[in-house]
Amino acid sequence: MSLNIGDAPPAFHLANANTAIGGSQMSLEQAFGRNGLVVAFECNHCPYVVASVSRMNAMAEFCQQNEIGYVGINSNDPLVYENDSFANMEKRAVKGMPYAYLHDSEQDVAHAYGAERTPEFFLFNSQHQLVYKGRMDDSPRDPSDVMVRDLDQAITAMLNGTAPDVPVTQSIGCSVKWKLR
């Protein structure tokens, strides 16, 4: 199942690897800013995420300046990639990450949102409605090749009280590493 434009965000209450931002646990309601929320499904190992870290950090800071919450959620199975373990999330977080980095250890949140890739972004407005989902931009591996900043355009439209011109884009990245069930 995947969220559709206009849907409300599924609730979560997850462990936070970046305790400097939001404490050891964070809920959906704690994550929301006055003007909305960006939920970024990400991880530590994916080269698309690694190449996007500085842009994600800048986006999180932009969101904070505009009273939009921003959280990263790692839903990958650490048995598939040990680098995605909670301990390694904590190691990454202390390197200056400006947002909460949440651990979806049971992968329930990724399933509820319909997340398929890392990085993948979900933007909710102040009325808790999904207004955008997909990629941050059209070149996650090489910032010098970015031509379209999809998430930035969606946030700008939302802040201006309009719907994004393109509310859904295809994420570019690594697949979520699902647990065998």
Q: Where are the domains of the chain?
A: 13-175
Confidence at residue 1, expressed as pLDDT on a 0 to 100 scale: 66
3-state helix, strand, coil in the chain (%, to 5): 30, 20, 50
Paired strand residues for 13: 27
Classify residue 144 by burial, with Cβ atoms within 10 Å: 0-12, 13-18, 19+.
Answer: exposed
Q: Report yes or no: 56 and 136 within 8 Å, Cβ to Cβ.
A: yes
Confidence at residue 181, expressed as pLDDT on a 0 to 100 scale: 66
- Give the three-class secondary structure for 87: helix
CB within 8 A of 116, min separation 6: which ones? 2, 171, 175, 176
Q: Which residues of 25-59 are buried (b: 16+ CB within 10 A; e: fewer)?
A: ebebeebbbebbbbbbbbbbbbebbebbbebbbeb
What is the rounded CA–CA span in Å between residue 5 and residue 143?
27
CATH among 3.40.30.10, 3.40.50.620, 3.90.550.10, 3.90.190.20 for 13-175 = 3.40.30.10
Digit-by-digit pLDDT tens for the chain (181 residues) are: 689 999 999 999 999 999 999 999 999 999 999 999 999 999 999 999 999 999 999 999 999 999 999 999 999 999 999 999 999 999 999 999 999 999 999 999 999 999 999 999 999 999 999 999 999 999 999 999 999 999 999 999 999 999 999 999 999 999 999 998 6
